Amino acid sequence: MSFFKKLFGSADAGGVDGGEPVEHKGYLIRATPYQAGGQYQTCGVITREIDGETKEHRFVRADKTTSPEDAIAISLRKGRQIIDEQGDAIFR
């Protein structure tokens, strides 16, 4: 199984449907947690259009939980935190 499939939540790798992206301060956050070792890994993607180009930042955090719903909530919360702390610098 591909490392990237596991990392970014492919259905083959136990990925979770994180639902629709959530808007935060002009950015979109999509939760993409995946199953790893019987738990769900915090993971997501932040996107924003800058000068007509869509920029994307993928993140994985150490936080794990046994609930896919909790993993989605944590992923969205971490995405908001990244945006609040770093803003557009995440795309550099």
Domain residue spans in the chain? 3-91
What are the structure tokens assigned to 36, written together?
A: 């790893």
d(CA 67, CA 52): 37
Q: Which residues contact 56 (CB under 8 A, 6 or more apart)?
A: 45, 46, 47, 91
CATH 3.30.160.350 fits 3-91, yes or no: yes
pLDDT tens, residue by residue, 32-61: 999 999 999 999 999 999 999 999 999 999
> Does pLDDT of 67 surpass 90?
yes
What are the structure tokens assigned to 22, written together?
A: 């959530």
